Amino acid sequence: MGVGGAARQRPRPGRRQSGGVLRRLEQVGLPVLADKAYQGAGGPVVTPCKGKRKPESQKRANRSHSRLRGPGERANAQLKSWRILRKLRCSPSKAGHMCKAIAVLQNYEVARG
């Protein structure tokens, strides 16, 4: 027979895949800072204001939004650069501990100069 049904399905956009997560975050009252792709997602999702001619208040809100999202975006970019995580062959429950250990070592190196 070969391939199961799951292999034939098309990949879904991130917004649909994260629907359950967003519902759970809304239940516990945690806001989610997202990019413009999540515009209109509703619930706990907070996105920047769109448009070219925004009033100053919306520009300030977008700058604040970017400042809050920045550290998370940089952390994700850093995780993607670690070769050891590209072909991780351990239990997913241990991946978080490995990421923490790598981050500690990297921060140590950065602090040393």
Flag whether the pTM goes above 0.75: no
Q: Which residue has the tokens 């999202």?
A: 69
Helix 56-81 to helix 92-112 angle (10° resolution) is 100
Tens digit of each residue's pLDDT (9 = 90 or more) over 37-79: 888 888 888 899 988 999 999 999 999 999 999 988 988 888 8
7-36: average pLDDT: 72
Measure the CA–CA gap between 74 and 86, rounded to whole angstroms.
Answer: 17
Q: What is the mean pLDDT of the chain?
A: 81
pLDDT at 104 over 70: yes
Asked whether residue 60 is assigned to any structural domain, the reply reads no
Residue 16: pLDDT band by 50, 70, 90 thresholds?
low
- State how many domains the chain has: 1
Asked whether residue 73 is assigned to any structural domain, the reply reads no
> Is 47 in contact with 35 (CB distance < 8 Å)?
yes
- 96 is in which domain, residue-wise? 88-113
